[in-house]
Structure 1
Amino acid sequence: MSADLFATRPWLRHYDPGVPPTLAITPAPLPELLRRAADRFADTTAIAFYGRIISYARLWEEANRFARGLLAIGFQPGERAVILLPNIPQAVIAYYGVLLAGGIVVLANPIFDAEGFAHEVRDSAATTVIALSMFYRLVEQVRAELPFPRLIYTNLKEYLPSSQRILFTLLRQEREGHRVPAEQAAQAHWFQHVLAAGASGDLPALHADDPAVILYTSGTTGAAKGVLHRHASLYANTCQTRAWYADADEGNERVLCAIPFSHAYGMTACMNVGIALGATMILLPTFETHNVLHTIRRERPTFFPGVPPMYAALNEVRDVRKYGLSSLKSCLSGAAPLPIEVQEGFERITRSRLVEGYGLTEAGPVTHANPLRGARRAGTIGLPLPNTEARVVDLQSGVDLPPGAIGELLVRGPQLMAGYWRNPQATAETITADGWLRTGDVARMLPDGYFQIIERKKEMIIAGDYNIYPRDLEEALYEHPTVIDAAVVGVPLPDGRTEIRAFVVTRPGERVSEAEVFAFLRERLNLPVMPEKIEFREALPRSFIGKLLRWRLIEELLQRERNT
């Protein structure tokens, strides 16, 4: 390895043993991951779902049958298919089935309202929707306005063990709304029927540069754009992230899949990396704290990719060690900043390694992570993954900045998106002519190559002559023994000033006054501007993946001001 590479990428010196400085990635269609896993680990359990197990050979067969079944009912290569499913076996089969049929997967948020779901269907010009039967009211409402040609329903019970399937039919199906009314059911295809229709037939040839997946991202600003990834970029990011688990035992790992596959992080870090490892994917349709703990005790996962609210929720469970969390080896936190208190608390109760990573939907999504075995830097996002370049540039001029200086983080690598779906202007604003992705995050690179996110550029608070970074205040708030969640926002006032507001959530049953929190902040921070008010909440608005939605807090405050 050339000395020049280590000089320009100082982070390479801090990689865990076994993590290569660069990867020789030969671009390939994404289903190659599943085909290779089926060849190497045919009888290994690919999916564990409430007692039902599916081998890699069976999963590969069902994905191919679903692909042929799609083509048999009229689906054409290049068309878009929206998948509206939680983490259930059908989600994995449908994802790879659509890709094998030459289609483009559109991953929809299972907790969308009609407006958000309709936007994705309309904007992607989807011809097919694959949905859970309990979402039929949402689907039928949108279909009345946007009559897409094909609708495929599937019931949650279809892949449960037979005994649980019977109990589900008797006790849950009607009560929870899983039964589609006969009139609507007659106008839809059903998942098992599509599989049956795919017993034979040819599949189209796939290429690495074919479009593969559209993920809609609003970040924290509310403006949803479709991020288009080709097979090559998602395949590359899977290889990069898999390489970070240098000591993984292929064919013997078990991944707890609690992050929705409909989010880029769940899609890559749980599903695609899990398949690349030949690991057992333990599927959880929803994150319910005690259900997760029972699943950990029963299924003994070794890897648990997650988001900070998940780890924080487990930390708060009384006598949590009785669930036997010792099987966990490595936990990679993403999608939101990981508070140090959450990290230390989780490691204390599990004896596992929890590290913070970083990424964005436009980058597949993983670009950075702290070493899983070596030196990590608390409060940083760690090091760029193999084959990933990163630099920090001046917020105004775009000139490269030296280590320690604060500016905008730019990244470049094979995992970057092809662009925003049918939005060349937004693409040009985000990706430079020489292939660098503007992340919109204010960051700095430390002298040893670790990176630290200071704040989203759009969320930095300009108060008079000062730049205030909400995360500094939030980290300090997290240190208070009664605080379990916190948010800081800047609220624009009619006179042009910006007022800083803080929101905190305290542990159930524990009380603290606003004056006590103010005093606590002043002891820990020496900032020229402090929050003007601290508001106590039972919960803070977060996306389905756990990302803090500051814009909702700001909108609420502005609406409150208008009303008064």
Structure 2
Amino acid sequence: MTDLFTSRPWLRHYDPGVPATLDLKPEPLPVLLQQAAERFADATAIAFYGRTLSYARLWAETNRFARGLLGTGFQPGERVVILLPNIPQSVIAYFGVLLAGGIVVLANPIFDAEGFAHEVRDSGATTVIALSMFHRLVEQVRAELHFPRLIYTNLKEYLPSSQRLLFTLLRQEQEGHRVPDAQASQALWFQHLVAAGQDGELPTLDAGDPAVILYTSGTTGAAKGVLHRHASLYINAYQTRMWYADAEEGNERVLCVIPFSHAYGMTACMNVGIALGATLILLPTFETHNVLHTIRRERPTIFPGVPPMYAALNEVREVRKYGLSSLKSCLSGAAPLPVEVQEGFERITRSRLVEGYGLTEAGPVTHANPLRGARRAGTIGLPIPDTEARIVDLETGQDLPPGAIGELLIRGPQLMAGYWNNPEATAEALTADGWLRTGDIARMLPDGYFQIIERKKEMIIAGNYNIYPRDLEEALYEHPTVIDAAVVGVPLPNGKTEVRVFAVTRPGERVSEAEVLAFLRERVNLPVVPDKIEFREALPRSFIGKLLRRRLVEELLSREQRS
């Protein structure tokens, strides 16, 4: 054990009860749900606007859906695109497709036609499962691409009976949930498949089988399909579950507002929640006051989220009246967590909010700060059980000592099998001995905590200096009127790079450009400091809340070309 502590100094800082390694046999992913149904049959698995499903009911409907899908001629190995928000059908479809031997392709519910068509085409999907309100998008793509099976489901199907009637009367037509008759007659319907799936054999699954494809473009380039086997996602669910060392299995309640279509929501909300036998409190979208009302009504104990979500809650006046004391553990991911946001959220909730880290290619969770022990603000924390991490020189690839800045590499059982039908990209990302090149510039502190400095592709090279946007953004967050910030490098015609700053201030509060720049210069000791700031009402972010710096750069370049 001494040698292990020497090679992995982070193990000394694990919370009590978090193991250094898992004695766990990989299983097919549906085993997560099967085990929860066996252990907590009568416990509530899903809470959805007042409607609940027990684990026994959820497992039964998942099995029926799998059999109903096979009854349509579906064959194991076929790819199924799931275009659903966080509703009960998304959980049933996810595990049902896997039970039928299929490969799940998780699609972004706010896609445009081009992005959706790319995923259908690239994955070779034969089936699409979509919410009825997305029918215009689906039919537009179906006119271009042929996929044999289209399965629609309606938001009202799992609402309580009273809300189902109101939905039909007030929302169905207005919000476009009703599929036109001509199109509806050419599609299959989710509830019909569940009702039809009473009999039939299910295929035998193996932990090594392909399970899920998640598309990611990182910060630039065309979206690539990240292929995970059952084993990697099953293991990552338990690696993350063990981080909640004091969780009470069968009694926790997870607020699921991170989309399941994103690797973080899929694992940290759905799969980890099911591994805990927890109640999944489903919200299809993040709307600040709806989230607060849900917290007051449903009393969640675990809230995985992203920094903009916690920041939005911090800004609500009299937020404590919503009774946030039920929250115990909040794990922030997908983007850097500003210290100001972290401290503000903990003040109003008295819960523990810690920053973690992951990549779609890694299941996604690889690092997290301890939920009960010593955390390091501004770091991503420690590698989770059975995860190795090291820092290598950006040029030579040689290992670097603690404190040195280089590229972060990760190795562990949660890593992807590779990029779907893209061996060249796979070879570039994965080394021959199984390490994932993350593309993130980082350093390991002497005690084993890791700190992300910047994405390699987003580091700004200004003259002879390297500028890390996060350093400037963290300083901007300290200003009392700034609630969001972005720093980008803009290439100039003369070959140099200019540092540009964008900031969002609190509604109704004004501050001068000169004041913020003076504030920034006082706190950041850099050879290159921006000389102007552009104020915005909002910054471009992905559906998961990740800052999209490249859109700001593209907009600036386009604007300057027109001028």
Query: Which band: TM-score by shorter chain?
Result: over 0.9
2:45 corresponds to 1:46: yes
| Deviation by residue 1:54-79 (Cα, 9 ceiling, x = unmatched) | 00000000111010001001111000
Output the amino acid matched with 2:183: Q
For 1:170, the equivalent position in structure 2 comes to 169
Deviation at 1:147, TM superposition (A): 1.5
Paired with 1:396 and 1:89, the residues of 2 have a C-alpha distance of: 48
2:490 corresponds to 1:491: yes
Deviation at 1:220, TM superposition (A): 2.0
Question: SS state of the match for residue 114, structure 2?
Answer: helix
Paired with 1:329 and 1:138, the residues of 2 have a C-alpha distance of: 39
For 1:218, the equivalent position in structure 2 comes to 217
Output the amino acid matched with 2:102: G
Paired with 1:349 and 1:523, the residues of 2 have a C-alpha distance of: 29
Which aligned pairs between 1:456-467 and structure 2 lie closer than 5 A?
456-467=455-466
Paired with 1:369 and 1:557, the residues of 2 have a C-alpha distance of: 35
For 2:421, the equivalent position in structure 1 comes to 422
For 1:303, the equivalent position in structure 2 comes to 302
For 2:431, the equivalent position in structure 1 comes to 432
Tell me if the contact between 1:500 and 1:533 (Cα under 8 Å) persists in the aligned partners: no
Deviation at 1:218, TM superposition (A): 1.4
Question: SS state of the match for residue 46, structure 1?
Answer: strand
For 1:263, the equivalent position in structure 2 comes to 262
For 1:5, the equivalent position in structure 2 comes to 4
Paired with 2:525 and 2:8, the residues of 1 have a C-alpha distance of: 34
Paired with 2:102 and 2:275, the residues of 1 have a C-alpha distance of: 21
For 1:273, the equivalent position in structure 2 comes to 272
Paired with 1:88 and 1:159, the residues of 2 have a C-alpha distance of: 8
Which aligned pairs between 1:67-146 and structure 2 lie closer than 5 A?
67-146=66-145
Output the amino acid matched with 2:439: G
| Deviation by residue 1:439-465 (Cα, 9 ceiling, x = unmatched) | 000000000000000000000000000
Paired with 2:115 and 2:439, the residues of 1 have a C-alpha distance of: 23
Tell me if the contact between 2:296 and 2:322 (Cα under 8 Å) persists in the aligned partners: yes
Paired with 1:470 and 1:349, the residues of 2 have a C-alpha distance of: 28
Deviation at 1:222, TM superposition (A): 4.4
Moved more, 220-229 or 49-58: 220-229
Question: SS state of the match for residue 326, structure 2?
Answer: coil
For 1:350, the equivalent position in structure 2 comes to 349
Paired with 1:506 and 1:134, the residues of 2 have a C-alpha distance of: 34
Paired with 1:58 and 1:255, the residues of 2 have a C-alpha distance of: 19
Paired with 1:38 and 1:152, the residues of 2 have a C-alpha distance of: 26
| Deviation by residue 1:339-359 (Cα, 9 ceiling, x = unmatched) | 000000000000000000000
Paired with 1:389 and 1:542, the residues of 2 have a C-alpha distance of: 30
For 2:410, the equivalent position in structure 1 comes to 411
For 2:539, the equivalent position in structure 1 comes to 540
For 2:367, the equivalent position in structure 1 comes to 368
Say what the alpha-carbon RMSD is for the aligned residues: 0.5
Question: SS state of the match for residue 326, structure 1?
Answer: helix
Which aligned pairs between 1:155-304 and structure 2 lie closer than 5 A?
155-304=154-303
Paired with 1:531 and 1:98, the residues of 2 have a C-alpha distance of: 51
For 2:499, the equivalent position in structure 1 comes to 500
For 1:386, the equivalent position in structure 2 comes to 385
Question: SS state of the match for residue 177, structure 2?
Answer: coil
| Deviation by residue 1:190-241 (Cα, 9 ceiling, x = unmatched) | 0011112211100000000000000000122242100000000000100100
Paired with 1:166 and 1:211, the residues of 2 have a C-alpha distance of: 40
Output the amino acid matched with 1:500: V
Paired with 1:280 and 1:197, the residues of 2 have a C-alpha distance of: 27
| Deviation by residue 1:133-192 (Cα, 9 ceiling, x = unmatched) | 000000000000001000000000000000100000000000000000000000000001
Paired with 1:535 and 1:7, the residues of 2 have a C-alpha distance of: 48
Question: SS state of the match for residue 557, structure 1?
Answer: helix
TM-score by length of 2: 1.00
Tell me if the contact between 2:104 and 2:212 (Cα under 8 Å) persists in the aligned partners: yes
TM superposition outliers: structure 1 runs of 4+ over 6 Å: none
| Deviation by residue 1:72-114 (Cα, 9 ceiling, x = unmatched) | 0111100000000000000000000000000000000000000
Question: SS state of the match for residue 320, structure 2?
Answer: helix
Tell me if the contact between 1:304 and 1:332 (Cα under 8 Å) persists in the aligned partners: yes
| Deviation by residue 1:2-44 (Cα, 9 ceiling, x = unmatched) | 2111100000000000001111121110000000000000000
Question: SS state of the match for residue 452, structure 1?
Answer: strand
Tell me if the contact between 2:354 and 2:370 (Cα under 8 Å) persists in the aligned partners: yes
Paired with 2:221 and 2:237, the residues of 1 have a C-alpha distance of: 28
Tell me if the contact between 1:220 and 1:548 (Cα under 8 Å) persists in the aligned partners: no
Tell me if the contact between 2:461 and 2:497 (Cα under 8 Å) persists in the aligned partners: yes
| Deviation by residue 1:425-444 (Cα, 9 ceiling, x = unmatched) | 00000000000000000000
Output the amino acid matched with 2:67: R
2:526 corresponds to 1:527: yes
Tell me if the contact between 1:307 and 1:336 (Cα under 8 Å) persists in the aligned partners: yes
Output the amino acid matched with 1:358: Y
Output the amino acid matched with 2:255: L
For 1:512, the equivalent position in structure 2 comes to 511
Identify unmatched segments of 5+ residues in structure 2: none
2:331 corresponds to 1:332: yes
2:559 corresponds to 1:563: no
Paired with 1:496 and 1:488, the residues of 2 have a C-alpha distance of: 19
Percent of matched pairs sharing the same residue: 86
Question: SS state of the match for residue 316, structure 2?
Answer: coil
Paired with 2:293 and 2:200, the residues of 1 have a C-alpha distance of: 42
Paired with 2:203 and 2:21, the residues of 1 have a C-alpha distance of: 32
Output the amino acid matched with 2:130: A
Question: SS state of the match for residue 370, structure 2?
Answer: coil
Question: SS state of the match for residue 561, structure 1?
Answer: helix
2:441 corresponds to 1:442: yes
Question: SS state of the match for residue 201, structure 1?
Answer: coil
Paired with 1:493 and 1:69, the residues of 2 have a C-alpha distance of: 58
Output the amino acid matched with 1:518: L
Question: SS state of the match for residue 325, structure 2?
Answer: coil
Paired with 2:252 and 2:301, the residues of 1 have a C-alpha distance of: 6
Deviation at 1:531, TM superposition (A): 1.5
Paired with 1:438 and 1:230, the residues of 2 have a C-alpha distance of: 19
Identify unmatched segments of 5+ residues in structure 1: none
Deviation at 1:123, TM superposition (A): 0.2
Paired with 2:208 and 2:194, the residues of 1 have a C-alpha distance of: 27
TM-score by length of 1: 0.99
Report how many residues are paired.
Answer: 563
For 2:358, the equivalent position in structure 1 comes to 359
Tell me if the contact between 2:19 and 2:242 (Cα under 8 Å) persists in the aligned partners: yes
For 1:149, the equivalent position in structure 2 comes to 148
Deviation at 1:533, TM superposition (A): 2.2
Paired with 1:509 and 1:218, the residues of 2 have a C-alpha distance of: 36
Paired with 1:547 and 1:222, the residues of 2 have a C-alpha distance of: 16
Paired with 1:186 and 1:512, the residues of 2 have a C-alpha distance of: 57
Tell me if the contact between 1:255 and 1:282 (Cα under 8 Å) persists in the aligned partners: yes
Paired with 1:368 and 1:531, the residues of 2 have a C-alpha distance of: 32
Paired with 2:221 and 2:278, the residues of 1 have a C-alpha distance of: 35
Paired with 2:466 and 2:357, the residues of 1 have a C-alpha distance of: 23
Paired with 1:385 and 1:450, the residues of 2 have a C-alpha distance of: 11
Output the amino acid matched with 2:164: R
Tell me if the contact between 1:499 and 1:532 (Cα under 8 Å) persists in the aligned partners: no
Question: SS state of the match for residue 75, structure 1?
Answer: coil
